[in-house]
Chains A and B, each alone.
Chain A
Amino acid sequence: MDTVLKINGLTKRYGKITALDNLDLEVKRGNVFGILGPNGSGKTTTLGILLEVINQTSGEFEWFGAPSNQNTRKRIGAILEHPIFYPYLTGVQNLRIVCDIKEVPYSRVEECIKQVGLDERKDSKFKTYSLGMKQRLSIASALLCDPEVMILDEPTNGLDPQGIAEIRDLIIEIANSGKTIIIASHLLDEVQKVCTHFCVLQRGKLIHTGLVEDVGKGDMLVEVKADTEDLQTVLEASGMSSNIKRELDKYTMTMVNGYSAAEINKYLFEKGITAKHLVVKTKSLEKQFLEILAEQEGGKS
């Protein structure tokens, strides 16, 4: 797998604020890469530097194995924060300008507008669009050059649940066509639903990178309910868990040493206890995310 993006020690300071602190990152071809972080953690700043609209304080980055210039950006489809277009122009007129900038034929305009399902309103002025339509137009605009890499910054921000679902489906569809996608988001389930890889930023610092599918592999949680007085002690005595948490009559065990629900079941059975509830929980990205944040000093975001 070849490297699409390599970031080396990227730093951005706004006066005393360090928006981005010595970031190193690598994105390979075909990755759907999520940049996760709470608001103000430096996601937009990072993407802005990669797209050369923000000047970095120090550090460098390479697109496709070479230092970037404007022709690099013609191979990338990108949206930063809100959709930006000329409000007094129609969707089609706006996309034609992007075609001229990216040096792709106008024939792409119709194709991309169809792909995002904006056909009916393509000749209305941009300022009359709803937020969902604006978001679609910007995805169409990013698709114009048949990009090798797509960059999306909070693509579902401000949309209603239906709009969110539609945009996510669109992103998954684009991802399935094999494109490399970089998504910045503060929404955990968004990253979990569409990404293959992710990293976590907090106050400009990179605090975690990994595979989305590895999330939850680390610790397994098993919930147990049974009608017995001393369940907590019995479970603790099993030595299969590092931690047991009680909520009403439900006990959640954090399993260790590869023990799983089957061993617990057998163990309880041997003790003459019948479990009436036994459920395996893999950790959601949300839990892991909160844990990662909590591990950092102070953990406040």
Chain B
Amino acid sequence: MMRLLRIEIQKLWPNRAFRWLSILYMVAMVIIAMGVMPFLRYLKSRIEDFDMDGIDPTIIPFYEFPDIWQNLTAVAIWFKLLLGFSLIYSITNEFSYRTIRQNVIDGMSKAEFVWSKVILAAFLSLASAATLFVLGLITGLMYSSEISIGLMFEDVYFLVAFALQLFAFLLFTLFVGTLIKKAIIAMGVLVFWILAIENGLYIYGQVQNLPWIEYFLPVKSINALIHNPFPKYILMEIQDFVTFPELALVLGWGSLFFWATNRLVVNRDL
């Protein structure tokens, strides 16, 4: 397994496009994690300009332990597309350069090749979760009003759920990249699928009162693992935990995409 990961890193790290996408992603995570408080302060100053006293956005306890974990992961998952693009880029390059063919000739099995990409996806997901963990600790210690070991780690499992969300999503992009083989088209299809098809079907499901449609939309299902926590700040009820059926759904989608990618590669003439 380490061998396959080492191969992937040697392939990718010297690549400029991949490096930029990764750096962009990291910067995005830092900005959203660190940037909420300055943003709230900015809002406050604008509100004061308009002379609307009595509303103070900075009292929104975004960074409060343990809520911080659900808050951060719920926001960070929006940037998964950047990571998805870098994985699509990695897999489609192998097809356009035909290096997948040479890899197999040199002594990888086709299944091993798919594994190496899956391991890369797992590595990127875990690295993201680890980064978010560090960022969460830093900002939490800076802004949280109450700090204790118990509170700090209470809901830290949201990071595990976050890693799993990313991983399942990356398996989806891996499948799309393998199916389409052309970087730009695959990225376009991915965006179109998420924005137009899934949203369209989702809204259709809501309007027609067919809520089960949601479960057949992989990206929506993956997003739904961590519920949006923010309505609670306007005193609405939210789900502040991960449920087992939702977890099983994400695992199911991940396994399906893994299986489908494997089949595509094994049955294809390279």
Contacts and interface: CB of A to CB of B under 8 A. Distances in A.
Interface of A: 48, 51-55, 69-71, 73-74, 78-80, 84-89, 93, 96-98, 100-103, 141, 145
A37 B98 CA distance: 25
Interface stretch (B70-78, B105-113, B177-185): B105-113
B240 to A, nearest CB: 45
B152 to A, nearest CB: 40
Contact of A54 (B6, B7, B270): B270
A148 to B, nearest CB: 13
Given A69-B109, A100-B6, A88 B101 contact: no
A54 B103 contact: no
A3 B101 CA distance: 26
Given A97-B7, A100-B7, A101-B7, A84 B108 contact: no
Contacts of B106: 73-74, 78, 98, 101-102, 141
A101 B97 contact: no
Contact of A70 (B3, B6, B11, B108): B108
B10 interface: yes
B108 A101 contact: yes
Contact of A53 (B3, B15, B269): B269
Interface in B182-196: none
B16 to A, nearest CB: 7
A220 B149 CA distance: 95
B99 A51 contact: no
A80 B101 contact: yes
Interface of B: 3, 6-7, 10-11, 14-16, 93, 97-99, 101-110, 112, 267, 269-270
A100 B102 CA distance: 13
A52 to B, nearest CB: 6
Contact of B104 (A53, A85, A87, A88): A53
B109 A70 contact: yes
B269 A55 contact: yes
A53 B101 contact: yes
B97 A84 contact: yes
Contact of A96 (B10, B103, B110): B10
The 3 closest A-B pairs by CB, nearest first: A74-B107, A70-B109, A84-B102
A103 B7 CA distance: 11
A102 B112 CA distance: 13
Contacts of B104: 51-53, 70, 73
Given A74-B107, A102-B107, A85 B99 contact: yes
Nearest to B106: A101
A74 to B, nearest CB: 4
B177 to A, nearest CB: 17
B109 A101 contact: no
B269 A89 contact: no
Given A54-B269, A86-B11, A93-B10, A70 B102 contact: no
B105 A53 contact: yes
Contacts of A69: 109
A88 B16 contact: yes
A63 to B, nearest CB: 12
Given A55-B267, A80-B105, A86-B93, 13 more contacts: A48-B269, A52-B104, A53-B101, A53-B104, A53-B105, A70-B109, A80-B102, A84-B101, A89-B14, A93-B10, A98-B106, A101-B103, A145-B107
Contacts of B107: 70-71, 73-74, 101-103, 145
Contacts of B267: 55
8 contacts: A70-B104, A70-B109, A84-B97, A88-B16, A93-B10, A93-B14, A97-B11, A145-B107
Contact of A86 (B97, B101, B109): B97
Given A55-B267, A86-B99, A103-B3, A73 B10 contact: no
Nearest to B110: A52
Contacts of A73: 104-107
Contacts of B93: 86
A138 to B, nearest CB: 9
Nearest to B12: A86
A96 B8 CA distance: 12
Contacts of A84: 97-99, 101-102
Contacts of A97: 7, 10-11
Contacts of B97: 84-87
A55 B265 CA distance: 11
Given A53-B269, A73-B107, A74-B107, A85 B16 contact: no
A88 B15 contact: yes
B21 to A, nearest CB: 14
A69 B108 CA distance: 9
